[in-house]
A and B are shown apart, each in its own frame.
Chain A
Amino acid sequence: MPQKTEPVQSAAIPFWRDEAKRAIVFQIVALLLVAGAGYYLYSNTQENLARQSIATGFSFFDKEASFEIGESLIKYSAEDTYFRALLVGALNTVKVSFIGIVLTIILGTIVGIARLSSNWLMAKLSAGYIELMQNIPVLLQLFFWYAIFYEAFPSPRQALNPITGLFFSNRGMIFAIPKAHPAHAVMGWALLIVLVTGWFLNRWGHRRLDRTGQPFPALRITFALAVGVPLLIWLAYGAPTAMDIPVLRGFNFRGGITISPEFSALLLGLVLYTSAFVAEVVRAGIQSVGKGQIEAAMAIGLHPGQVLQRVILPQALRVIIPPLTSQLLNLIKNSSLAIAIGYADFVAVTNTMINQTGQAIEGVTLIMLLFLFFSLSTSLFMNWYNKKMALVER
């Protein structure tokens, strides 16, 4: 005790009692340990690679992949390079994730709102759906749907044909599409131009609302243009209605568009599983808006649509968006389970590459980099969004 009262001279403190110096020593030791472990693993790996004569580096990118991929968004054959094969896989991952995210948000919102419905039957059914989906592993769900598609549906020869041009078989769902026509390209471009114009129109409308208080129905005008302009172009080209109807040739269908059972099972499993979590997020978001807010909005004379658009949604979204993004990120990460049911996503293609070349380190690194890219860009977006939406307090 008496020592404490003595005047402390910093020079007299031994360095292991000096907090600042101890911190530096501690950090150096930690870094050295990590670096040492890293070096040990690295040298072992170098030795092992040399002994098993496994190549290193990414020179395999230019070599011929020599394996087929079931479905692809770009032209691909076994003679193409590994790089192109990996690109096909990455595009397939993006495809299933993108469609999955859109459907998950729609279904999750519906179930989340139904969970709060005053209709007893709807509320109970949604609650049951959420519990059921959340408590069964997503991989088991994928196997289940794949088994349904593969075992329960007949072969292409006995394909189910509920309406003309639509077939269900164990090779997937096949449906007719309009035959290619020059009008389609023009319609696509027109739609794009309308949407871009609509975006600027909306911004201008908001600015005018802020300046003058005059509302401008930009969304309605854009919607009308987006439907009307392509329709007019279609009519101007003489309303082409020829369809590309799939026909049975040999053991499979030709023509139309085929959605493979692998893709359908993966999409269905991911959407049903993730939407249960999204529904809970949406429910929590809506419940977080105080009743007084809604009553106040009604008291100042807003009609129900305006209450939803201007009072409930902006506040609920602030609560919904952060957990929603992490659920959607989970969906992207879970899409890597595609490998278990044979959908050629990035992980599945990389796995084939690892088996052929033995370059496991490069393969696993590529997988991690792709998913880290998704996650980091999502968290950048999140930070930006949080800043934008943060409550401006006095």
Chain B
Amino acid sequence: MNDTTNNPREHLAAPIRKIGAIAWLRENLFNTWYNSVLTILTLAVLWMIVPPLFSWAFINSLWDSSAEACRDIDGACWSIIPRNVKFIFLGFYPTGQEWRPILAMLLLLGLVFYSKERKRWKKALGWYWSIGLIVMGTLMYGGIFGMPIVEPAQWSGLPLTLMLSFFGIVAAYPLGVLLALGRRSRLPAIKTLCVVYIEMIRGVPLISLLFMSSVMFPLFLPEGVTIDKVLRAQAAIIFFTAAYIAEVVRGGLQAMPRGQYEAADSLGLNYRQTMRLVILPQALKIVIPPSVGILLSAFKDTSLVVIIALYDILKTTKVTLSNPKWTGYSTEAYVFLAVLYFIFCYGMSSYSRRLEKELHTGR
């Protein structure tokens, strides 16, 4: 008796309510009466949904079979993916040349992964990218080293999706920076032009620009001149993305304290020098995370080219589904695509969050 009162810590174990699994449950799931009700209801709903879904996707499903075998089962027919993998990923790229787009995509992914680390953001990286892009272009187009020429009209599937989104942001970035500077300009004519452009593009859906590129743009060109449909859609995506980048960059420019401009002025720098040496390096650093956000939505938005009948990966999947043999397995095909998009987008958004933390140097 005396011992415990004198030195309680030695003799009493921590009460069971404070540690361990039961305590965790009490803390996080059953801490109030309405939370208990909520937990039980949620578990009941999950119990109704998850087991049937699990047996549909994994137990009663077929992973590599003919379309006929799929007609007799209750579960998912994942076979649609492996049996059509070439067309879904590469579309109309000529048979026998598949290694070229695959190699180009691997090169792109390799460069992206290499560029992830901030300590590699040096001048050399720019050179790697330039060389890499030339190699990728050569691989896709061919014409030398005995590779037959493949016209851009035949580029389809995943390479097209990646190309539209990648060039969509790379080419849009400089344009967006110019537009942002123009919007902040003191020259009324320049400012008005930029404001009208940015607000107009941001006010309309991307699909209207894609329509413009597919049905209206041919009317703009002089007789005899034609531009490939893929390139026109690419241009529409670039012009669309540029307006959004402009707004992000403008945010960065506005976040610059006045003292920075005044300091540059007092050093006697002119406008170009002020922007290039003082303002833009700081402003662009702030806007790196939101820019990754724009890249993310540009990547998701490329799927809209389906509507003007370009063969990106969503369209090749739809074509596969319109094959009578594989009709009726849309759910499986779309779930597969969703997983694919999710991996890309989730990777990008968590990278953007990491970058935000790293770059947040504090003031």
Contact = CB atoms under 8 A, between A and B. Distances in A.
A375 B342 CA distance: 29
Interface stretch (B64-72, B208-216, B279-287): B208-216
Contact of B211 (A34, A121, A141, A364): A364
B190 A27 contact: yes
A137 interface: yes
Interface residues of A, number: 57
Given A151-B331, A360-B215, A364-B212, A138 B220 contact: no
Given A140-B341, A337-B307, A360 B205 contact: no
Contacts of B303: 137, 139-140
Nearest to B206: A333
A347 B207 contact: yes
Contacts of A247: none
Given A44-B219, A140-B334, A151-B330, A118 B341 contact: no
Contacts of B193: 30-31, 34
A125 B187 CA distance: 51
Contacts of A134: 345, 349
A90 to B, nearest CB: 14
Contact of B208 (A119, A144, A371): A371
Contact of A26 (B187, B205, B301): B187
A155 interface: no
A334 B188 CA distance: 33
B76 to A, nearest CB: 12
Nearest to B188: A27
Contacts, number: 157
A266 B216 CA distance: 27
B23 to A, nearest CB: 13
Interface stretch (B2-10, B38-46, B102-110, B250-258): B38-46
Interface stretch (B28-36, B119-127, B145-153, B354-362): B28-36
A363 B342 CA distance: 35
A371 B32 CA distance: 47
A138 B187 contact: no
A117 B38 CA distance: 11
Contacts of A138: 300
B223 A121 contact: no
B15 interface: no
Interface in B315-363: 318, 328, 330-331, 334-335, 337-338, 341-342, 345-346, 349
B42 A125 contact: yes
Contacts of B29: 119-121
A84 B330 CA distance: 35
B330 A143 contact: yes
Contacts of B349: 134-135
Interface string A92-134: 0000000000000000000000000111111001000001101
B345 A364 contact: no
B: interface residue count bin: 35 or more
A242 interface: no
Nearest to B313: A140
A182 B186 CA distance: 64
Nearest to B348: A135
B1 interface: no
A371 B205 contact: yes
Contact of A119 (B38, B219, B328): B38
Nearest to A29: B189
B170 interface: no
A92 to B, nearest CB: 15
B200 interface: yes
Nearest to A120: B28
A351 B203 CA distance: 19
B306 interface: yes
B202 A119 contact: no
A219 to B, nearest CB: 24
Nearest to A376: B203
A140 B338 CA distance: 7
Contacts of A41: 220
B190 A30 contact: yes
Contacts of A51: 223
A360 B219 contact: yes
Sorted from nearest, which 10 A-B pairs have the closest CB atoms? Answer: A147-B330, A375-B203, A120-B28, A135-B345, A27-B189, A333-B205, A137-B300, A360-B215, A336-B205, A137-B303
6 contacts: A26-B190, A132-B342, A135-B346, A371-B208, A375-B202, A375-B204
Given A361-B219, A368-B200, 18 more contacts: A34-B193, A48-B223, A51-B223, A118-B31, A121-B42, A122-B38, A125-B42, A132-B342, A137-B303, A137-B314, A139-B304, A333-B204, A334-B205, A361-B216, A363-B215, A367-B208, A371-B205, A375-B202
Interface of A: 23, 26-28, 30-31, 34, 41, 44-45, 47-49, 51, 117-122, 125, 131-132, 134-141, 143-144, 147-148, 151-152, 333-334, 336-337, 339-340, 347, 351, 354, 360-361, 363-364, 367-368, 371-372, 374-376
